[in-house]
A = this chain, B = another copy of it.
């Protein structure tokens, strides 16, 4: 007999799910509470407002992403280039599995009101991801780590919204190949003749 999660946890994970499916503005607190098998009053006892809940849900999602990075590093210890390829594959898999894109990025698109507390959560999450990716590129010894990591970041974000806009037959179909081509074009000559190629 499994112990039921606490109401607060049920609310957060349910909110994540419903925000993803319907958009943040597309679902009401009442529906979230009901889907979490609780009620609006309990929801408001744990979260002062819907905006609070939004932030908490985004934080919850971003924590799951942090775990993914630890797992990535553990899978190929001391081999950053292998980790980089593994990152690309994982993102491609995530792209294939998930039809809603990145919750954090979607929230950034949806919440236009500047000063919204969620923006800090989103920015913090995205910057963390970018920094870890850049470190990976740097450790992998590619020629222009910042440029490659930004390229991969943009390809990833672009693949997600592209899939939303034009479906899985659009540009996102070639996400993996595009990433691999980008990595290849920045790869340093391995160990022979340590001459750098200009232009």
Contact = CB atoms under 8 A, between A and B. Distances in A.
Interface of A: 21-23, 25-26, 100-101, 104-106, 108-113, 122-123, 126-127, 130, 146-147, 149-151, 153-162, 164-167, 170-175, 177-178, 181-182, 184-186
B154 A105 contact: no
Nearest to A169: B127
A39 to B, nearest CB: 25
A105 B25 contact: no
B104 A165 contact: yes
Contact of A185 (B153, B156, B185): B185
Nearest to A134: B171
A154 B172 contact: yes
Contacts of A149: 171
Nearest to A119: B165
A155 B152 CA distance: 9
Contact of A174 (B22, B105, B109, B147): B147
A154 B153 contact: no
